Amino acid sequence: MKPNQRRAQHSFPYFKLATFDQISMCYRDGKTAFATESDAAASAKSPGTYRVSIVRENGRQDLTPFHVGT
């Protein structure tokens, strides 16, 4: 679903998965929005550090980072 469609349908909250970028030392959001927190966390396949964010109409909340190891 495109962002403008999500706003028009009031499809909130949704979840984003962010990957930690070692070079910039920050989290970078992925392009996919998920319906549940567990779907977002399950999409982290490669080893690394990730964070799920809850996006609501009035803002976002970043959850605790987690690691996916080898």
Predicted confidence (pLDDT) per residue in 2-59, tens digit: 666 666 566 789 999 999 999 999 999 999 999 999 999 999 999 999 999 999 988 9
69 and 61 Cβ atoms separated by less than 8 Å: no
Q: What is the pTM of this model?
A: 0.82
Residue 62 structural domain: 3-68
Residue 40 burial by Cβ neighbours in a 10 Å radius (0-12, 13-18, 19+):
buried
Domain count, the chain: 1
Phi/psi class of residue 42: alpha, beta or left (left: φ > 0; alpha: ψ in -120 to 50)? alpha
